[in-house]
Amino acid sequence: MLALAWSAALLAASAPVMASILGRQPEIPASCAGLPQGSLGSLSYNFTLSAYNLDKPNANSTGVPLVLALGPPGTSAAASEWVIATQKTAGSDDWPYWTMVNGVLTPQPGPNEQGLGAYASTVDQGDVPAFIVTIAESDPNPADIYCGADESDEYLVLSVNNNPDGFSLCTATDDYDQNVVVYEAEQSNSAYSYDTCYAVHIYIVPYTA
Ligand SMILES: *[C@@H]1O[C@H](CO)[C@@H](O)[C@H](O)[C@H]1NC(C)=O
Ligand SMILES: *[C@@H]1O[C@H](CO)[C@@H](O)[C@H](O)[C@H]1NC(C)=O
């Protein structure tokens, strides 16, 4: 038992040492693998998200503001599923900015939402990327699937599952009529009408309070 604990401690200590001996770059998180050099899984700043239309002219170089928005009604009273929607269609905007650490994208609660946490769910093709909002957990297990991709644009471009080019904005089919972010939109998904979808890049815009 003691020997095991010792070798585990040694292993933990030796990995960074080895990396510095070999002069390695800081480790690239799996969520950024395959993306251009300069892509980051951890950002040192707070940010907002903005959708830039890839098919049609945009009003400005930032695109339209996105926010965390209440998604379709769920089955649990204690937790609710939230999505990313345009600010214009979202209703409320109680999560003023986001952070990213080791590939985990996290909306941060505003003054009205203190004590709550929002945790990223995994995202499959056709999904509306979702966040579970619940009482803040001490040991949450959010999906570490996001990255800020360096596409040589004015801003880093949000990527999920190593793909910065998979996002669309689509009109949700629920009662709210929200314009929601979708990943690799599919005709067969009933959460949104596929015919309304248009491709966007999601920009990571540094937040200044
Ligand atoms: C993010 O915003 C919060 C609240 O305004 C602030 O306390 C914190 O310092 C900010 N973090 C950075 C890295 O600017
Ligand atoms: C860019 O245009 C959109 C759509 O008109 C607007 O909502 C947004 O506030 C503008 N952003 C900036 C930075 O001016």
Domain ranges of the chain: 28-206
Q: Give me the phi and psi of 166, to 5 degrees please.
A: -100, -5
Among the bound ligands, the one closest to the CA of 56 = 2
Mean pLDDT for the chain overall: 88
Residue whose Cα lies nearest atom 14 of ligand 2: it is 60
SS3 content of the chain, % helix, strand, coil (to 5): 15, 40, 50
CA-closest residue to ligand 2 atom 7: 64
Average pLDDT (133-162) is 96
- Look up residue 135 and give its two tokens: 């009482």
List the residue whose alpha carbon is closest to atom 4 of ligand 2: 64
198 Cα: distance to centroid of ligand 2 (angstroms): 18
Contact between 137 and 117 (Cβ < 8 Å): yes
Q: Assess whether the C-beta atom of 46 lies below 6 angstroms from ligand 1.
A: yes
Is residue 1 pLDDT above 50, yes or no?
A: no
**pLDDT class of 174 with cuts at 50, 70, 90:** confident
- Per DSSP (E only), the strands in 13-166 are 47-53, 64-70, 80-86, 97-101, 104-108, 116-120, 130-135, 146-149, 156-160
pTM: 0.86
Ligand 1 centroid – CA 20 distance (Å): 30
Q: Given the CA of residue 45, which atom of ligand 1 is nearest to it? A: 13
